[in-house]
Amino acid sequence: MAGSIIGVEIAEESIRAVEVKLGRHPTLVAAGEVLLPTGAARDSDVLDAEAVALACSQLWAQSKFKRRKVVLSVANRRLLVREYSAPNLPRDELRAALPYEVQDLLPVPVERAVLDFYPLSIEGNQAKGLLVAGAAEGIEGLIAALRKAKLWVSAVDFLPFGLARAVGIALPPGSGPVAVAAIGEHTTSYVVVEDGVPRYVRIIPAEVLVGLHATMAARGEFGSTGLAATARRGVLEVEPVPDPSLTELVSRIRETLEFSRRSGGVLPRKLLITGSLGLVPEIQEALGKALDIEVDTLSPTDVIATSTALAEEGLPASLMGALGVTLEVK
């Protein structure tokens, strides 16, 4: 399908992908999720490339994706995200200069890092924005695993930036700043968004100890679109979240919200929750009680039109990480 784009996210528990038909009115035409064997990946690092490649091949066959070129969505707790001022240069020149500018800030040698800079404002000859840095080894491992499945990565994008674009599409201009939390079993991506622009980003490490009831998915019992039968109601069926795990998650999100208010000067009017565990009722209820702002949910259908088949089957919120990197805010 020449006029489409595919986004992929490799998480610890599963691989997720979506295909969006481009045009004046983009449409989600294919989507799927396949669970990974225990130990195949850890916090978005590939530990067993063969297992990940096999799961990718299974996902492509079941979901009937038409392309093999993909955009890779990444977010893990070892990524450095911080506010930063860089020289106001053309993008190509800045990309070349950035390693020399930030080498003293990185936890790894600059030659072993992948860097990106998202400018937010220009003041004189300086651009203020968000610096993202990660170990090249981890990104290369993801790309290599996809290559084993004959999938080719055309671009790597930061998952929270994709979430920001999703919110920019879902909400009308002038809606004011909102916070988004994509909640996963091991990591939560948090971003404050204003008119589709990320103003503040944090990766929150928080282990959410839930028991996933995905037996049908694990056995490969998927529908024709490749979505797990257990996810058709918009979220994987889960056991109740144990209190200590839930308390820790809520505490970390509340602390991050308060810190973003103090340091960023942007006051979110609501929190949108999404991700593989974002629609778990216990999590929604706990956040609603603990926070002093409105808590709502964000699902793929809030962001983009879908084909009839996908609309009938239902789209889990776990697909938001893959969907966000396919989007553009108009």
Residue of 328 and 139 predicted with greater confidence: 139
Share of the chain above pLDDT 70, in %: 88
Task: With CA atoms as reference, report the closest residue to 67 among 8, 14, 124, 137.
Answer: 8
Span 4-324: which CATH code?
3.30.420.380
| C-alpha angle 286-299-62 in degrees, rounded to nearest 5 | 120
DSSP string, 87-112: E---HHHHHHHHHHHHGGG-SS-GGG
In sign, the C-alpha dihedral spanning 272, 273, 274, 280 is: negative
Q: Taking residues 213-222, report their average pLDDT.
A: 36
Rounded Cα distance between 185 and 115, Å, is 26
Evaluate if residue 230 carries a pLDDT over 60: no
**pLDDT, tens digit, 9 for 90 and up, residues 24-79:** 889 999 999 999 999 999 888 899 999 999 999 999 999 999 999 999 999 988 88
Task: With CA atoms as reference, report the closest residue to 191 among 98, 280, 128, 264.
Answer: 264
Q: Which residues pair with 190 in a beta bridge?
A: 181, 202
- Burial class of residue 45 (count of CB atoms within 10 Å of its CB; 0-12, 13-18, 19+): middle
Assessment of whether the complete model's pTM goes beyond 0.85 = yes
Sequence length of the chain is 330
> Half-sphere exposure of residue 29, counting CA atoms within 13 Å on the CB side?
17
**pLDDT, tens digit, 9 for 90 and up, residues 152-179:** 999 999 999 999 999 999 999 888 999 9
Beta-carbon contacts of residue 157 (< 8 Å; ≥ 6 apart): 71, 72, 73, 74, 324, 325
All structural domains of the chain with their residue ranges: 4-324
How high is the pLDDT of residue 279?
A: 86
How high is the pLDDT of residue 208?
A: 81
Hey, what amino acid is at 88? N
Evaluate if residue 240 carries a pLDDT over 70: no
